[in-house]
Amino acid sequence: MAITKANSLKGEIKVPGDKSISHRGVMFGAISEGTTELTGFLDGADCCSTIGCFRAMGIDISQDADHVIIHGKGLHGLKAPSQMLDVGNSGTTTRLISGILAGQPFVSSLNGDESIQKRPMGRIITPLTQMGAHVRSIKDNGCAPLEIGGAPLKAIHYDSPVASAQVKSCVLLAGLYADGVTSVTEPVVSRNHTELMLSGFGADIKSEGLTASIVGGPKLYGQKIEVPGDISSAAYFIVAGLICPNSDVLIKNVNTNPTRAGIIKIAQDMGGNIELLNERIVSGEPVADIHVTSSNLHGCEISGDIIPTLIDELPVIAVMAACADGTTTIKDAAELKVKESDRIATVTENLKNMGCDITPTDDGMIIKGGQPLKGTTIKTYLDHRIAMSFAIAGLVANGETTFDDESCCCISYPKFFETLSSIVNQ
Ligand code: S3P
């Protein structure tokens, strides 16, 4: 794949289904009674890992591209898997499924690829252990492979040191199997799909400020869910439409849940022409069409409570900052270091190689934008968001941008390059 400079970007596109909602739809459907039907499901490698794990525990799931039907067996209907569950590259699968496994009357184990084996699992081992679960990092390094032994769980209140929806969701899911009320307080509110969706499946779950709580032992019932487009995938085209000349792009049917939509506010703060059209609620989630046109951007500071609402978009926001006049400072984003790659390091290395003035910091980066970028070979570190963010940088760079391996896009957006070429005019 080689990307060259675009003269303009024009057209109307749809992005694949939301990854967080697709994972949760499968998981919650599996532990509910009756049938759950997902349309608009993200048919990417990560969500397919979740499907594989639940099939391995006896759940009948049929999939035809973005249409998935899950024949749930209720809260206590999972069977012990006969081998280690394979979570692939997916942190969401690993951390959320661990909460469910902790409540089962059997011992299970899970493992994934090289990247997942480096990601911190102490953050879920600690609260699950407090709840009485037997969870062990098999290599004793705080990472997968994990062994999870079923034990009776007790409800706890957990003060999470990180704003992480995966940690919050793990504890809330374990809370389904505990007597009484389990609650989690976060330092800053993270994405709230678990709270919205589990309530739709029949759980007694509440959010008040920084705290989410759930009552154990509910009956959950299968649902029909229309999965909206993923704002994390729309982000590439939002930035592309803003930074490329003569551009006008409409991205239809995108999830704009405020706990996810920080990129829209930042694009506006940087002077971007971005508007939300046709705002509506679909399956309990806010959805809109996003319209962007070419803009003269300027730098800004990105820090504080907005960070969890755009954490996965920071690589492509860094590309936007490289194309904006002046300085952009990203702070309070140390979580970037423990994503599919260390995204402070991988964004810095690639933007530097493209000729951008960027300085990494402990919890973010400082980007002095406005200088022309030059094409290079992107080192993706097999991180899907690095590959796609730098494909967008390639649209404004002089010369050719290539990739050491762009196959990682299949994790969240298998047809990314097809969609991109449908709107690029060279
Ligand atoms: C996710 C939560 C976020 C995000 C990830 C998906 C989720 O991770 O980065 O891509 O679906 O709950 P953290 O919980 O580690 O912040």
Q: Which pLDDT tens digits describe the chain residue by residue (426 residues)?
A: 999 999 999 999 999 999 999 999 999 999 999 999 999 999 999 999 999 999 999 999 999 999 999 999 999 999 999 999 999 999 999 999 999 999 999 999 999 999 999 999 999 999 999 999 999 999 999 999 999 987 899 999 999 999 999 999 999 999 999 999 999 999 999 999 999 999 999 999 999 999 999 999 999 999 999 999 999 999 999 999 999 999 999 999 999 999 999 999 999 999 999 999 999 999 999 999 999 999 999 999 999 999 999 999 999 999 999 999 999 999 999 999 999 999 999 999 999 999 999 999 999 999 999 999 999 999 999 999 999 999 999 999 999 999 999 999 999 999 999 999 999 998
The residue whose CB lies within 8 Å of the most ligand 1 atoms, and thus the one to mutate among 164, 332, 338, is 164
* Ligand 1 atom 4: residue of nearest CA: 312
List pLDDT tens digits, range 125-144. 999 999 999 999 999 999 99
State the distance from the centre of ligand 1 to the C-alpha of 310, rounded, in angstroms. 10
The residue whose CB lies within 8 Å of the most ligand 1 atoms, and thus the one to mutate among 42, 184, 186, 190, is 190
Active site residues: 312
State the distance from the centre of ligand 1 to the C-alpha of 92, rounded, in angstroms. 6
- One fold for both 2-16+228-425 and 19-226? yes
Task: Report the atom number in ligand 1 closest to the C-alpha of 312.
Answer: 9
The residue whose CB lies within 8 Å of the most ligand 1 atoms, and thus the one to mutate among 21, 22, 28, 92, is 92
Q: Indicate whether residue 189 lines ligand 1 (CB < 6 A).
A: no
**Helices H / strands E in the chain, number of each:** 12, 26
Instruction: Give the β-pairing of 157-159 and 181-185.
Output: parallel
The secondary element (H helix, E strand) that includes residue 158 is strand 157-159
Q: Indicate whether residue 350 lines ligand 1 (CB < 6 A).
A: no
Tokens of 346: 């991988």
State the distance from the centre of ligand 1 to the C-alpha of 84, rounded, in angstroms. 23
* Ligand 1 atom 11: residue of nearest CA: 20
Task: Report the atom number in ligand 1 closest to the C-alpha of 308.
Answer: 16
Instruction: Specify the pLDDT at position 242.
Output: 98
State the distance from the centre of ligand 1 to the C-alpha of 306, rounded, in angstroms. 14
Tokens of 368: 């002095």
Q: Indicate whether residue 385 lines ligand 1 (CB < 6 A).
A: no
Task: Report the atom number in ligand 1 closest to the C-alpha of 162.
Answer: 16
The verdict on pTM exceeding 0.95 is yes
**How many Å apart are CA 244 and CA 246, to the nearest integer?**
7
Task: Report the atom number in ligand 1 closest to the C-alpha of 96.
Answer: 12
Q: Indicate whether residue 164 lines ligand 1 (CB < 6 A).
A: yes
Q: Indicate whether residue 110 lines ligand 1 (CB < 6 A).
A: no
Residue 164 assigned ligand-binding role:
yes
Q: Indicate whether residue 73 lines ligand 1 (CB < 6 A).
A: no
Q: At what angle do helices 343-353 and 384-394 cross, to 10 degrees?
A: 20
- Does residue 237 contact residue 251 with C-beta atoms inside 8 Å? yes
Instruction: Specify the pLDDT at position 67.
Output: 98
Superfamily of domain 2-16+228-425: Enolpyruvate transferase domain (3.65.10.10)
State in Å, rounded, how far the first CA of the chain is from the last one.
Answer: 15
State the distance from the centre of ligand 1 to the C-alpha of 113, rounded, in angstroms. 17
Instruction: Specify the pLDDT at position 150.
Output: 77
* Ligand 1 atom 15: residue of nearest CA: 164
Could you give phi then psi for residue 134, rounded to 5 degrees?
A: -100, 100
State the distance from the centre of ligand 1 to the C-alpha of 246, rounded, in angstroms. 34
The residue whose CB lies within 8 Å of the most ligand 1 atoms, and thus the one to mutate among 93, 116, 166, 188, is 166
CATH topology of domain 19-226: UDP-n-acetylglucosamine1-carboxyvinyl-transferase; Chain (3.65.10)
Closest-CA residue to 335 (of 145, 158, 161) = 161
Query: H helices within 227-337, ranges in order?
Result: 231-243, 262-269, 314-322
Task: Report the atom number in ligand 1 closest to the C-alpha of 20.
Answer: 11
Residue ranges covered by each domain of the chain: 2-16+228-425, 19-226
Closest-CA residue to 165 (of 33, 41, 257) = 257
Starting at the edge strand found earlier in the chain, the sheet holding 146-149 runs 85-88, 107-112, 146-149, 134-137
Type of residue numbered 71: H
